[in-house]
């Protein structure tokens, strides 16, 4: 009779269509998440392709394996993404009162006209 644990692993690999994760995979995923925050485009691409669920799973793996540094780094990335989401939601829900007015000159800023010198 086959070992139940071996059978479970084999079924899982078959279902996921992937090799079992190596011990360093959770660190690689957390590092990729942190690196993705370097630019908005990279972050959007990373998190659009299931990066958040992968990152949460990597943090859970790091915690299970007592890899405190990796778990802490992953939690920092997730917290930063959550702060970005809150800020973006706030900007959409509560736009500044003068949002439509931001391209006009200030009301008290004297701007030189074509016939005036630039010394004003």
pLDDT tens, residue by residue, 8-22:
777 766 676 655 556
Instruction: Tell me whether residue 110 is in a domain.
Output: no
Number of structural domains found in the chain: 1
Instruction: Tell me whether residue 104 is in a domain.
Output: no
Amino acid 18: pLDDT: 55
Instruction: Tell me whether residue 99 is in a domain.
Output: no
Instruction: Tell me whether residue 90 is in a domain.
Output: yes
* Domain encompassing residue 88: 16-94
What residues contact 70, with CB distance under 8 A and at least 6 apart? 26, 27, 30, 58, 59, 62
Region of residue 68 (phi > 0: left; psi between -120 and 50: alpha; otherwise: beta): alpha
pTM above 0.75, yes or no: no
Instruction: Tell me whether residue 9 is in a domain.
Output: no
Instruction: Tell me whether residue 87 is in a domain.
Output: yes
Instruction: Tell me whether residue 8 is in a domain.
Output: no
pLDDT per residue over 49-72, tens digit each?
Answer: 777 888 998 999 899 889 999 999
């Amino acid at each position: 009779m086959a070992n139940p644990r071996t059978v479970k692993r084999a079924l899982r690999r078959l279902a996921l269509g992937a090799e079992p994760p190596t011990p360093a995979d959770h660190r690689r995923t957390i590092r990729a998440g942190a690196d993705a925050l370097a630019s908005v485009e990279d972050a959007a691409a990373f998190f659009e392709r299931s990066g958040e669920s992968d990152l949460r799973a990597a943090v859970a793996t790091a915690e299970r394996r007592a890899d405190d540094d990796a778990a802490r780094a992953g939690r920092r990335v997730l917290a930063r993404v959550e702060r970005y989401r809150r800020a973006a939601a706030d900007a959409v829900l509560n736009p500044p009162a003068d949002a439509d007015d931001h391209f006009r000159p200030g009301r008290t800023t004297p701007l030189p006209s074509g016939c005036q010198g630039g010394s004003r």
